């Protein structure tokens, strides 16, 4: 992350200077900082609401039920976390919310899942294999119906907006599958976490726990 942060900012300033847009780049520092706090604050209410809902679903056993249904899949994908971990249920909720285009709900569920994955993580500053996989699943942006895009298409008078649903779904499935497979491949060849890496490696090599 240190290099990414460094290069993003250095490149911006150098290229901004070349393009004569240095003033815009400076303004972007201010507006970007302001925007990030706005984004975080707008998350507070939504986050509180869905974390509250999540608590009810957890106490009523609904999340346990959902994670039991999805267990065959999560057991293969997240083979490094114990099957009884609450993370499994949170991941299931996150995935379901994403699939139905409820990204406002998906984010709190996803953060909750990350917190549970962090409890199983051995090195608290470095992302575990499961965390990288979960992040990859989320960045691929799997959803059944792209609601925002459909809204824009309808607003411009697109005659048959639903015709883009099938291609979008196909593309998102390809990207999603690719992200999962690539995470699984990279976790074997990428340098492991510094602490207890031998243990994690041992778990990776367990039979029947891959793809």
> Is 68 among the residues that bind other proteins (CB under 8 A)?
no
Distance CA 150, CA 142 (A): 16
Q: Rounded CA gap, 99 and 151, in Å?
A: 17
Rg (CA), the chain: 20
What does the block give as tokens for 182?
A: 């690539």
- Is 5 a binder of other proteins (CB under 8 A)? yes
Residues between 25 and 44 with contacts to other proteins, criterion CB under 8 A: 25, 27-29, 31-33, 35-37, 39-41, 43-44
Answer positive or negative: Cα dihedral of 190, 92, 140, 35: negative
Candidates 71, 76, 162, 195; binder of other proteins (CB under 8 A) is: 162
Segment 89 to 148, residues that bind other proteins, using CB under 8 A: 97, 100-102, 105, 107-108, 110-111, 114-115, 117-118, 123-127, 131-132, 134-136, 138-141, 143, 145-148
| Cβ neighbour number for residue 91 with a 10 Å cutoff | 31
Q: Is 179 exposed, middle or buried (0-12, 13-18, 19+ CB in 10 A)?
A: buried
In the region spanning residues 175 to 194, those forming contacts with other proteins, defined by CB under 8 A, are: 175-176, 178-179, 182-183, 186-187, 190-191, 193
Residue number, 191 or 198, with CB nearest to other proteins: 191
With respect to other proteins, which residue has the nearer C-beta, 56 or 208? 56
């Amino acid at each position: 992350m240190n290099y990414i942060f460094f290069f993003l900012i250095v490149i911006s300033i150098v290229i901004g200077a070349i393009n004569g847009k240095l003033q815009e780049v400076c303004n972007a520092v201010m507006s970007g900082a302001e925007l990030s706090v706005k984004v975080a604050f707008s998350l507070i209410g939504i986050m509180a609401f869905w974390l509250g809902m999540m608590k009810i679903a957890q106490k009523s056993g609904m999340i346990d039920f959902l994670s039991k249904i999805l267990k065959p899949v999560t057991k293969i994908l997240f083979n490094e976390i114990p099957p009884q971990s609450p993370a499994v249920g949170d991941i299931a909720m996150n995935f379901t919310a994403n699939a139905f285009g409820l990204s406002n709900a998906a984010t709190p569920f996803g953060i909750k899942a990350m917190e549970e994955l962090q409890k199983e993580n051995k090195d608290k500053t470095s992302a575990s294999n499961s965390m990288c996989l979960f992040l990859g699943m989320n960045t691929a942006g799997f959803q059944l119906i792209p609601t925002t895009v459909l809204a824009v298409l309808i607003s411009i008078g697109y005659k048959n907006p639903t015709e883009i649903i099938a291609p979008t779904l196909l593309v998102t499935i390809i990207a999603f599958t690719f992200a999962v497979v690539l995470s699984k491949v990279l976790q074997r060849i990428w340098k492991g976490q510094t602490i207890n890496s031998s243990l994690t490696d041992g778990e990776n090599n367990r039979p029947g726990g891959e793809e």
